[in-house]
């Protein structure tokens, strides 16, 4: 009898261990709340980092667009100085700069080969900080050779420099319009 009692007792303890083991596998409400709080904290930390990354990428794109346009203007002027383009062309100012920004895309007549055009840009790049509803030509503030360095309006004689129309501040605290 003692043996039967001991056998029953071991079976009961085995069942209760089995039941306790599977009761512990469930998730309590407190554990769920703690998990949600941790995930919220991680999201709150990651979101500003993602916004700065997007802004930094736009700044890189803006710097590249300005560099491309300024390099094209400089090459245009150099070609004018070295007589690769005609000094009498209608699209060239008396100072050797393009009269419009679009001339860099459309091209200017070559002085060396009649009927050919030298092109300096494939397209006018868009300012990533201007709205997408504007044509890319309207994204930029132009400055002519005769204009003052801080001029707010373009004299209209030629395109010596370009800058962003945006009045926002960069990550480093400078203004995009001053780049």
- Integer CA distances (angstroms), 52 to 43, 48, 64, 128, 129, in order: 14, 6, 18, 15, 14
Token pair for 163 = 């800058």
Q: pLDDT-based confidence at 162, cuts 50/70/90? A: very high
Tell me if residue 85 falls in helix, strand or coil.
strand
pLDDT higher than threshold 70 for residue 179: yes
- Integer CA distances (angstroms), 114 to 7, 96, 117, 167, in order: 109, 19, 8, 44
Higher pLDDT, 85 or 2: 85
Residue 10 has a pLDDT of 58
* Domain range enclosing 42: 2-178
Residue 5 has a pLDDT of 56
pLDDT tens-digit profile of 2-26? 555 555 555 555 555 555 555 556 7
Number of domains observed in the structure of the chain: 1
Lowest mean pLDDT among 61-75, 106-120, 165-179: 106-120
pLDDT higher than threshold 70 for residue 136: no
pLDDT higher than threshold 70 for residue 87: yes
pLDDT tens-digit profile of 24-67? 567 888 988 999 999 999 988 888 888 899 999 999 999 999 99
pTM of the model: 0.72
């Amino acid at each position: 009898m003692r043996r039967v009692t001991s056998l029953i007792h071991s079976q009961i303890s085995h069942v209760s261990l089995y039941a306790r083991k599977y009761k512990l596998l469930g998730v309590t409400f407190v554990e769920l709340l703690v998990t949600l709080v941790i995930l919220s904290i991680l999201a709150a930390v990651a979101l500003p980092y993602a916004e700065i990354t997007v802004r930094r990428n736009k700044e890189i794109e803006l710097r590249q667009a300005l560099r491309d346009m300024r390099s094209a203007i400089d090459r245009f002027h150099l070609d004018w100085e070295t007589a690769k383009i005609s000094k009498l062309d209608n699209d060239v100012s008396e100072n050797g700069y393009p009269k419009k920004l679009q001339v860099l895309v459309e091209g200017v007549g070559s002085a060396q080969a009649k009927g050919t055009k030298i092109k300096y840009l494939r397209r006018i790049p868009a300012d990533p900080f201007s709205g997408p509803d504007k044509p890319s030509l309207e994204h930029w503030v132009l400055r002519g050779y005769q204009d003052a360095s801080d001029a707010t309006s373009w004299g209209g004689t030629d395109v010596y420099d370009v800058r962003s129309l945006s009045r926002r501040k960069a990550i480093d605290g400078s203004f995009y319009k001053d780049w």
